Structure 1
Amino acid sequence: MNRRSSMALTDRTTLGELKEADYQVRSVKDELRANLMQKLRAGEEVFPGILGYDETVIPRIQNAILAKHDLILLGLRGQAKSRLIRMLPRLLDDHIPVIEDTPLNEDPFNPITKQGRAIVEERGDDTPIEWLPREARYGEKLATPDTTIADLIGDIDPIKAANERLTYADEEVIHFGIVPRTNRGIFAINELPDLQPRIQVGLFNIMEEQDIQIRGFNVRFPLDVMMVFSANPEDYTSRGNLVTPLKDRIDSQITTHYPKTIETGMSITEQEAWQDRADGAAAVDVHIPRFFREIVEQVAFEARESEYIDQTSGVSVRVTRAALEALISAAERRALLNGEDETTVRVSDLMHVAPAITGKVELVYEGEQEGAEEVALTLIGRAVRALFDEYFPDPSDKEEGRPEYKDVLDWFAQGRSIDLDQDMSDAAYAETLGQIDGLQALAEEYLSPDTTGETHTGMEFVVESLHQHSLVGKEISDGGQTYDDIMGSMLSSIGDGGVPGDDFDEGDFDDDDDDTDDPLSRYR
């Protein structure tokens, strides 16, 4: 009988009863391999909730398990490394038998410590057993520079030796570390390069010979452990490194990655973000048009290509989760201030997404010079422009002459402007945007909104995008923003003390100019 029948055996309480049931013990890696094979043959989902890895990371992890490998997940921050590792215990059996009250989850058929051997020798078939659940068979340690060999492997316990009058030559004075205490299970070390090299050396025997040695003892404890690690590529150079012999002992190195498509990123954000705010009598129903979800996701894609951001550090998927939550909160707050029960997120609400970005990206020198807030706004602006170009005709197309935008641009060219206060009510918002000739028809034609709220926020989306294409001017204040004629906006800047040529030149009005030389200029 194998471990697949372990649930039917949990009423067995002695070694003799296990023998009668013909219980067969398997190693951890054999157990993981067999259970994975069953799941794959049955078509079961092995890593539920992990998105975007079906064709890349997950098959490689499965291959490593089938090969009975120890493995390391190598990737930048926020790539689900820890989540994947913590799902591995799902492949363990529900329960396994261990000798009761022993420190290392000892196999009753093959005890490895002096205490375990003594119990079996004394009690024989009456050796008491208990059933260890799978969740108790997983151990984890975050590698930190102060981690010691005693923490991981163990050390002599002088207090125990004194209390029990044992010599230091007695095996029972050993205090076991967290790795041996996970015997017959899975042990994970996160951020492995942060371990000091001499501590990494202490893992050699576990990885190759599957045993541990403590201090000067001539005894060895053969462990049954699957070792799993995670690391960030940046750590190999800036914070630490893996000693070569340890790398050689890790059988499979699997590289993780960020979402490769907007759709995948949206699915992850949808799964992870807190969006259901229906709590309490004052709750607000916040509508989020699809193109807003795409904008939020595009922010991360823009950040991963930005010249202002340190790409070796990465841009976590936590950016989009936090950004979407901040966007919803901005709309929620505005509705509460105006006594509204429902609302739709607006482009102007994106201004409040910046705090969700600034703390999650590492800036290079140029980014530090510009400032984290300015860089965040630039990323948002680029994301808006990128999504606008997906839905609308290119307003910079000279040959077409931008006929779709003529009415809107002519309205601003007549010296008109609109003020969008960040806390204005939905009614005032709709009335303000409704002044602009041709704007509503443009939003309805290309966005096909389902509600009037989506129509109005789509109208602001058009105006903001025309600004991103340098066709409409924009001035930002603490309380909101003003859109006006691009020429009037530039001349106003000069009148406020600017010098012609400092902030713009003739190229700023070139239809093909995308301001790539100074991507922050749109917010000045």
Structure 2
Amino acid sequence: MSTPNNLPRTVGELRASGHQEKGVKSEIRDNLLAALAAGSTAENIWPGIHGFEDSVLPQLERALIAGHDVVLLGERGQGKTRLLRSLTNLLDEWTPVIAGSELGEHPYSPITPESIRRCAESGDDLPIEWRHRSARYTEKLATPDTSVADLVGDIDPIKVAEGRSLGDPETIAYGLIPRAHRGIVAVNELPDLAERIQVAMLNVMEERDIQVRGYTLRLPLDVLVVASANPEDYTNRGRIITPLKDRFGAEIRTHYPRELDAEVGVIAQEAHLSAEVPGYLLQIIARFARLLRESTSVDQRSGVSARFAIAAAETAAASARHRGAILGEPDPVARVVDLPGIIDVLRGKLEFESGEEGREQAVLEHLLRRATADTAARVLGGLDVAPLVTEIEAGHPVTTGERVGAKDLLASLPEVPVLDQIAERVGAVSDGQRAAAAELALEALYLAKRIDKTTGEGETVYG
């Protein structure tokens, strides 16, 4: 991203412009308060975050206003990382740094020996650069092999070999946290850090200095430290050491979307669909995921990630695209017949209770039928489908399936006005959309035990 041309290029020009230095927490606080005072909605302040408007976001905003370091506790796939990354929206778009400085120090406040020396030598002529807010967010996935050198720093043997003494602070190769100076440093899955590595973070978070191999370097680091953790790791295994927990000013619990619309919004936003998936199919998938989270057969300690629902939508779209390639349909639309493939492909993403061995397939099929029936009842409620039932009972079966194209499905349907009403209800216009809408109605009638269904090789007959 190119820097605007009208920004100051030296310290003297910066002072003449009236620029005031702010700490990163003050910067975030002021920008957040300004957005709230201007009436900005949660969607504007936290774009792409669904389902947290009345729970997580108010807590996070209070923590940021208080200037607290934050740890988010939540099961997998609850959007913790996305929420942490969205914090950059609260930083100033551009901030000045000393040109070429290793830690991106503010021109008014150099903290490394080299930058202090350059400021003294150059005075107002010291060149400055402008850093975009996207470059002020640093993220580290905590892994068991993470070292103190990765996070804090270590002695650089090359600098020592050049003749510097071990006591010289310029022999230090800075780690990730010092390099995040004047920005945000995020540690994902914090409990996975070895305890001795967590100890190395204590001084950084409280005293804001670092210790490298017995050499203490006083650096007034200006960082906002945020982290994510699974509550099972956090509370039961005790893998975040107590002093580190104490240094986080706010611990905020995240959750899966509580409203169906929020769940559908997450799926629609995150899924990369290779074919059209109607909104009511996304509702079926969202309800399916919610039923899984309520099921006593599924291990709720591991959670049912939002990634499951996203992958389910992508799988349904892929099934439609697969059918379209075989049958020569240029614009395939996912149908109810594509949903069972979700179970076959994504079953391994779920963990079941120990007493459910052998019943996994039956549990998933039952919950998918429930989700389909609930969605059909809400989408098609109020329509009189009796004429369609009468026609099918009179010996007019309808053939569909993963190898049956939209035109063939529509050709096998009886001519009853209610099918046009169903298409109008869901906004179906094209052949693929109308076939998908008709199949939803047929499946709903089957689940309500008003018609029968037989499944063969690539074909399903409603009769």
Q: Paired residue for 1:425? A: 405
Structure-2 change in CA distance of 1:294 and 1:470 (3 Å): same
What letter corresponds to residue 252 of structure 1 in structure 2? A
Structure 1 position 324 matched with structure 2 position 313: yes
TM-score, normalisation: structure 2: 0.86
C-alpha distance in 1, partners of 2:130/2:299?
A: 49
Aligned to 2:109: 110
Q: Give me the whole-angstrom Cα distance separating, in 2, the residues matched to 1:184 and 1:360.
A: 39
Q: Which residue matches 1:137? A: 136
Whichever residue aligns with residue 180 of structure 2, its letter is: T
2:212 aligned partner: 214
Instruction: Name the CA shift for 1:348/1:179 in 2 (closer, same or farther; >3 Å).
Output: same
Please show how residues 491-506 of structure 1 align to structure 2 within 5 Å.
Answer: none
Q: Contact conserved, 1:191 with 1:229, CA < 8 A, in 2?
A: yes
Report the secondary structure of 1:179's partner residue.
helix
Over 3 Å counting, the alpha-carbon distance change for 1:432 and 1:184 in structure 2 is same
2:7 to 5, 10, 19: 10
Deviations 1:133-161, CA, capped at 9 Å, x for gaps: 22222111000011111100011122220
- Flag the 1:471–1:132 CA change in 2: closer, same or farther, 3 A: same
The 5 Å alignment of 1:379-418 reads: 379-391=367-379, 408=389
Distance verdict in 2 for CA 1:462–1:94, change over 3 Å: closer
Partner of 1:501: none
Q: Tell me: CA distance 1:481–1:80, structure 2 relative to 1, closer, same or farther (3 Å).
A: same
Would the alpha carbon gap of residues 472 and 150 (structure 1) be closer, same or farther in structure 2, given more than 3 Å must change? same
Structure 2: which 5+ residue stretches go unaligned? none
Q: Which residue of 2 aligns with 1:31?
A: 27
- Which residue in the other structure is 1:86 paired with? 85
SS at match of 2:176: coil
**1:378 equivalent among 349, 362, 366:** 366
Distance change in 2, residues 1:367/1:463 (3 Å): farther
1:247 to 223, 245, 248: 245
Determine the structure 2 residue equivalent to 1:489. none
- Give the Å deviation of 1:456: 4.8
Partners of 1:409 and 1:202 in 2: how far apart?
A: 74
Structure 1 Cα separation of the partners of residues 209 and 419 of structure 2: 68
Q: Is the 8 A contact 2:104 2:181 kept in 1?
A: yes
Find the counterpart in structure 1 of residue 295 from structure 2: 306
Which stretch of structure 1 is more off in the superposition, 65-74 or 132-141? 132-141
Name the SS for the 1:294 alignment partner.
helix
Give unmatched runs, 5+ long, in structure 1: 1-5, 278-285, 395-402, 485-524
Aligned to 1:262: 260
Q: Distance in 1 between matches of 2:127 and 2:441?
A: 74
Q: Distance in 2 between matches of 1:50 and 1:405?
A: 42
Return the alpha-carbon distance in structure 1 between the equivalents of residues 109 and 281 of structure 2: 60
Which of 1 and 2 has higher RCO (CA within 8 Å, sep 6+)? 2
Q: Read off the aligned partner of 1:248 and give its amino acid letter.
A: D
Alignment-derived partner of residue 508 in structure 1: none
CA RMSD of aligned residues (A): 3.2
* Aligned positions of 1:328-339 closer than 5 A: 328-339=317-328
* Deviations 1:50-98, CA, capped at 9 Å, x for gaps: 2222222222221111111111111122222111111212222233232
Partners of 2:434 and 2:255 in 1: how far apart?
36
Contact 1:193/1:242 (CA < 8 Å) preserved in 2? Answer: yes
CA deviations 1:140-187 (Å, max 9, x no partner) are: 10000111111000111222201x112212211111101001111111
- Give distance in 2, aligned partners of 1:90 and 1:404: 50
**Distance between the aligned counterparts of 1:110 and 1:392, measured in 2?**
65
What's the TM-score once normalised by structure 1's chain length? 0.77
Residue 210 of structure 1 and its aligned partner are, at CA, apart by 2.0
Which residue is equivalent to 2:460? Answer: 481
